[in-house]
Amino acid sequence: MAISQMIGARIHRREDPHLITGGGRYVEDLVRPGTLAMAVVRSPHAHARIKRIDATAAQAIPGVVAVLTAADFKPLLTGTHPVAPAFVAQKQTVPQRFPIADEEAVFQGEPVAVVIADNRKLATDGAQAVDVEYEPLPAVMDLFKALEPDSPRAHLGQVDNLAWDLTYAPEDTVKDAFVQAEVVVKERILQQRLAPVPIEPRGVVAEFNSFEDQLTITMATQNPHFIRLFVSGALGMPETKVRVISHDVGGGFGSKISPYPEDYLVAATAKLLKRPVRWIETRTESIQTTTHGRGQVFDVELAARRDGSLLALKVTQYLDAGAYVGTFGAFQPVACLLSGGAYKWPGGIAARTIGVLTNRVPTDPYRGAGRPEATHLVERMIDKLAQEIGMDPAAVRQKNFIRPEEFPFTNNFGLVYDSGNYNGSLERALELAGYADFRQRQERARKEGRYLGIGLSTWIEICGFGPSAATAPATGGMALVESAQVRVHPTGSAQVIVGTHAHGQGHDTTFAQIAADTLGLPYESIEIRHGDTAEGAAFGYGTYGSRSLAVGGMAVRTAGKQIVAKAHKIAANMLEAAADDVVFDQGRFHVKGNPGNAKSMGEVAFAAYGAGLPEGTDHGLEATSYFDPPNFVWPFGAHICEVEVDPATGEVQLQKYVAVDDCGNVINPLVVEGQLHGGIAQGIAQALFEEVAYDPDTGQLMSGSLAEYLVPTANEIPTPVLDRTVTPTPSNELGVKGIGEAGTIAASAAVINAIVDALQPLGISHVDMPASPDRLWKQIREAQEGVRA
Amino acid sequence: MADRVPVGVNVNGTNYARDVEPRDLLVYFLREDLGLTGTHVGCDTSQCGACTVLIDGRPVKSCTMFAVQANGRQITTVEGLATNGELTPLQEAFWNEHGLQCGFCTPGFLMTATALLQSNPSPTEEQIRKGLEGNLCRCTGYANIVRAVQSASKAMSAGAGVATPEPVLGRA
């Protein structure tokens, strides 16, 4: 059948009209009569023993309904916080987590008590009146000190602070290559902690209907079905009695994937009090207690020849897990498996990941999760090598790229890259960036005492999670396939209920494009629904990891094709023709060679609910499909950043940003470009501005508001020059990859490489993130003094 | 609890009289007392700008002001931009230019940019970026927000809001 015009069309989003007129339905907008507000009393200490909780003063405030502590929740909640057991065998210490601290608080912001009151203000008043006596304990903050035998423990009584220690490939793997190497470059690369900062903080509303024993949870989440799975389990309720609804979600970036303590606490309290209960996170709470991203240190060594041929890589990842291992925290060592990037390493890659427990909030996936770290380390090391051997960084890359004819390509860890044309995107980016002229401009500028630099990042990623065979073992049994249910109504309108859940990605539009073309129905007749566990297929896997299109979009496609197959039989019967003699084209079934004698999909839909169906055909026109992809998908691209660094102030000016990306076939270019714009901004933000800072001794959060945690504004982020190449994946029928994280994965390396390139005359060969003016100014001053001396 | 005090405001052309606590912030008054939930709360330190409304035509972060301070003032919220279902050129431009993704910061940007275009109908790109620096967006990287303001500026100068955008697929 012909793929018609909707797939690939630059159409405007159908999500927008209600969002630009104030009609959004975010969780805080939900109003239920009689709703109680919850406020959370949180530990002000990074690590402390809880000696006593006195709620007398709080309970005396009129309007305060209850003050609840761990003792109250223990009979209501069973089990502990889920952790995807990606490294079960290697796990040393995975502390059990109950949603609220009992005798010991292990990070600043951990819940200690909750106050339930008639409204938000009274709940806050009550929380301030709860008197908690703490005995402060030593805080474990430094990753390397934490691993020393005499270090205090992040939890009392813990054997050590080692969450995991896993060697993917031992150093022996690369021993020969390092012996043969003509040049070895080394670096310690920091990945600072980042706060995801969706502009809508988290929020949960729970209502318990005791007549039906039914709990309804409305919340801001990226995956309602997983929340239902976890919360129903903790409450000891069957999934049929728990419904999770999520309407509009104001951004997530990974931070709304995992279940949080408040999800359980609000649900349990609503069930206990038989009243609707609501908790809305403040921004301070968000930076303090919503999971952070990154928080890693990499020790890297690269072996090569003087002609720029890469040989081998050694990577050790130290990952700050925080006080508990995040639900999907163990995904982030994927950075090791992708550390080879877009290049061939004939001498192998040695890789080891070490997870460390500290007294900070847990880390978990944040936009890119493991892939920005991989890209940053390998792209930094390629540039260091280029600098060391005096070779053009573009040429080093081109010399070592996996070539188009080498796909499918099995990397050093057995992962199979589906398709790529890495030099194709680089060539185009070099052209758009004016790379050929840049070195002359740079030379002239240097003579004037100005520091211009250019940085390349030729990124790849793994996304589209994922094949059940690969993902189920890593998540404790739940695969990451995806579901879609298509229901064509008698008059030809269709509902498509998907298991993914958009939080800004535009699925209502792009999935309708896929469904319209697949079903042969007008785009306007298709309604996309998501975010309610009471609708559609029994399970949905959610939106994260750039998976929604390549897995969820394919589920829409496969469910749609089941509809077409059934409609085909009914149409043949209506046309009094053999099914083999009927073709489906542009939404119409007709007898071969006689397009005039046709039945539209709408007519067939009506017939499907009437009389006279072919023998053996059930009534109705609906289908449910779960799509299990055969492989991950592997987008790629080339980003180039041009900067000027002011040596007097350390300020970095972004002069130009070029991105040529390849996500296979594109469903809607408008949406793809939007994802890149935002992703690049987040990568630039990591490179230049953002860092969750804690006091290294006390564990006090020092960047607890948006006044200290510097999310860039429109002043700091230039509009990037975008282009793309198209290399479809062979792994799915639509030929699509993913684009949600691409910009973030690529950008930090391009920016930092540009800064290092600018500062080369000072002998600077590495700069850590964020390259803030103060940090850069100090580094420049030290280098200048070194140069003079 | 503290005594409640009367507040009278005009919001989007309608007069409201309510009794509020002196400590009630304007943003919560709009959201919780008047049910106008298009104005959002994204932070607690007046950095994000999601709560921006117009007070007597000037953009104000409504979390920086007590409801009682708004007594007697004219307030415009995002719900008051479109009239009879007809979008303003700026709202049209946000739609056309893909100036929003999750949409949570969008009401604040619309209000700030509405005021910006009223005071400077033809701003340069730099003036737009400077003018929007009090609002944070985490999804768009600002590129299409800046474009939307530029495009609204053009549409408004071309015909004071009568410019009809190109027909767009996907609009019912």
Structure tokens given for A567: 């409609």
Q: Which of A317, A318, A370 is nearest to A146 (CA)?
A: A318
A248 touches chain B (CB under 8 A): yes
Spatial separation of the C-alpha atoms in residues B134 and B90, rounded to whole Å: 18
A523 touches chain B (CB under 8 A): yes
A639 touches chain B (CB under 8 A): no
A516 touches chain B (CB under 8 A): no
Measured between CB atoms, which of B44, B77, B91 is closest to A20? B91
Spell out which residues of chain B touch residue A504, defining contact as CB-CB under 8 Å.
101-103, 139
Cβ contact A714–B146 (<8 Å): yes
A526 touches chain B (CB under 8 A): no
A509 touches chain B (CB under 8 A): yes
Spatial separation of the C-alpha atoms in residues A406 and A409, rounded to whole Å: 6
Cβ contact A199–B141 (<8 Å): no
Structure tokens given for A2: 């012909």
pTM above 0.80, yes or no: yes
Measured between CB atoms, which of B94, B129, B141 is closest to A20? B94
Cβ contact A28–B37 (<8 Å): yes
Determine the 3-state secondary structure of A673 from DSSP.
helix
The one-letter amino acid code at A708 reads E
B15-65 pLDDT, tens digit each: 999 999 999 999 999 999 999 999 999 999 999 999 999 999 999 999 999
Cβ contact A199–B104 (<8 Å): yes
Determine the 3-state secondary structure of A661 from DSSP.
strand
Q: How many CA atoms lie within 13 A of A221 on its CB side?
A: 29
Cβ contact A674–B136 (<8 Å): no
Q: What is the CATH number of domain A32-137+200-250+256-289?
A: 3.90.1170.50
| CATH architecture, domain A368-463+634-788 | 2-Layer Sandwich (3.30)
Measured between CB atoms, which of A121, A253, A714 is closest to B133? A714
Measured between CB atoms, which of A9, A509, A711 is closest to B136? A711
Spatial separation of the C-alpha atoms in residues A737 and A103, rounded to whole Å: 47
Residues B145-151 have a mean pLDDT of: 98
Residue of chain A minimizing CA distance to B38: A22
- Among the four given CATH numbers 3.40.50.300, 3.60.150.10, 1.10.150.120, 3.30.70.260, the one describing domain B89-159: 1.10.150.120
Cβ contact B135–A713 (<8 Å): yes
Name the pairing type of β-strands A131-136 and A104-105.
unpaired
Determine the 3-state secondary structure of A674 from DSSP.
helix
Name the pairing type of β-strands A214-219 and A131-136.
unpaired
The one-letter amino acid code at A408 reads P
B154 touches chain A (CB under 8 A): no
Determine the 3-state secondary structure of B172 from DSSP.
coil
A247 touches chain B (CB under 8 A): no
B52 touches chain A (CB under 8 A): no
B37 touches chain A (CB under 8 A): yes
The beta-strand segments (E) located in A489-544 are: 494-498, 526-529
Spatial separation of the C-alpha atoms in residues A609 and A492, rounded to whole Å: 11
Residue of chain B minimizing CA distance to A202: B42
Measured between CB atoms, which of B48, B98, B130 is closest to A715? B130
Q: What is the CATH number of domain A482-627?
A: 3.30.365.10
Chain B closest CA to A252's CA: distance in Å?
Answer: 9
Chain A closest CA to B118's CA: distance in Å?
Answer: 19
Question: Are the folds of A32-137+200-250+256-289 and A482-627 the same?
Answer: no
Domain boundaries along the sequence of chain B: 5-80, 89-159
A16 touches chain B (CB under 8 A): yes
Residue of chain B minimizing CA distance to A503: B102
Spatial separation of the C-alpha atoms in residues A58 and A117, rounded to whole Å: 10
Q: Are B153 and B119 in contact (CB under 8 A)?
A: no
A-proximal residues of B, 121-140, CB under 8 Å: 128-130, 132-140
User: Quick check: B167 pLDDT over 80?
Assistant: no
pLDDT level of residue B2 (50, 70, 90 thresholds): low
Q: How far apart are the first and last CA of chain B?
A: 50
Measured between CB atoms, which of B87, B139, B172 is closest to A504? B139
Q: What are phi and psi of A114, to 5 degrees?
A: -125, 150
Cβ contact B136–A9 (<8 Å): no
Measured between CB atoms, which of B79, B128, B145 is closest to A21? B79
Domain boundaries along the sequence of chain A: 32-137+200-250+256-289, 368-463+634-788, 482-627
Cβ contact A706–B23 (<8 Å): no
Cβ contact B48–A706 (<8 Å): yes
A325-382 pLDDT, tens digit each: 998 888 899 999 999 999 999 999 999 999 999 999 999 999 999 999 999 999 999 9
Chain A closest CA to B6's CA: distance in Å?
Answer: 19
Spell out which residues of chain B touch residue A250, defining contact as CB-CB under 8 Å.
40, 42, 102-105
Mean pLDDT of chain B: 93
A22 touches chain B (CB under 8 A): yes
Spatial separation of the C-alpha atoms in residues B27 and B61, rounded to whole Å: 8
Radius of gyration of chain A (CA): 28
Cβ contact B21–A121 (<8 Å): yes
Chain A closest CA to B166's CA: distance in Å?
Answer: 11
E strand or H helix that includes residue A297: strand A293-304
Angle A114-A120-A121 from CA coordinates, rounded to 5°: 105
B150 touches chain A (CB under 8 A): no
Q: Which of A493, A618, A512 is nearest to A567 (CA)?
A: A618
Q: Which residues contact B121 (CB under 8 A, 6 or more apart)?
A: B153, B156, B157
Cβ contact B142–A714 (<8 Å): yes
A432 touches chain B (CB under 8 A): no
Name the pairing type of β-strands A214-219 and A622-627.
unpaired
Where chain A has pLDDT below 70, the residues are 1-4, 84-92, 787-789
B22 touches chain A (CB under 8 A): no
Q: Which of A722, A187, A92 is nearest to A428 (CA)?
A: A722
Cβ contact A12–B168 (<8 Å): yes
B-proximal residues of A, 36-95, CB under 8 Å: 62-63
Chain A closest CA to B67's CA: distance in Å?
Answer: 15
Determine the 3-state secondary structure of A226 from DSSP.
helix
Question: Are the folds of B5-80 and B89-159 the same?
Answer: no
A33 touches chain B (CB under 8 A): no
Count interface pairs A-B at CB distance under 8 A. 199
Chain B closest CA to A351's CA: distance in Å?
Answer: 33
B114 touches chain A (CB under 8 A): no
A673 touches chain B (CB under 8 A): yes
Residue the block writes with tokens 């062979």? A730
- Burial class of residue A697 in the structure, from the number of CB atoms within 10 Å of its CB (0-12 exposed, 13-18 middle, 19+ buried): exposed
Structure tokens given for A443: 């030379």
Chain A closest CA to B78's CA: distance in Å?
Answer: 6
A18, A19, A32: best to mutate for the B interface, most B CBs within 10 A? A19
Q: What are phi and psi of A695, to 5 degrees?
A: -65, 125
Q: Are A67 and A114 in contact (CB under 8 A)?
A: yes
Superfamily of domain B5-80: Beta-grasp domain (3.10.20.30)
Spell out which residues of chain B touch residue A201, defining contact as CB-CB under 8 Å.
42
Q: Are A638 and A435 in contact (CB under 8 A)?
A: no
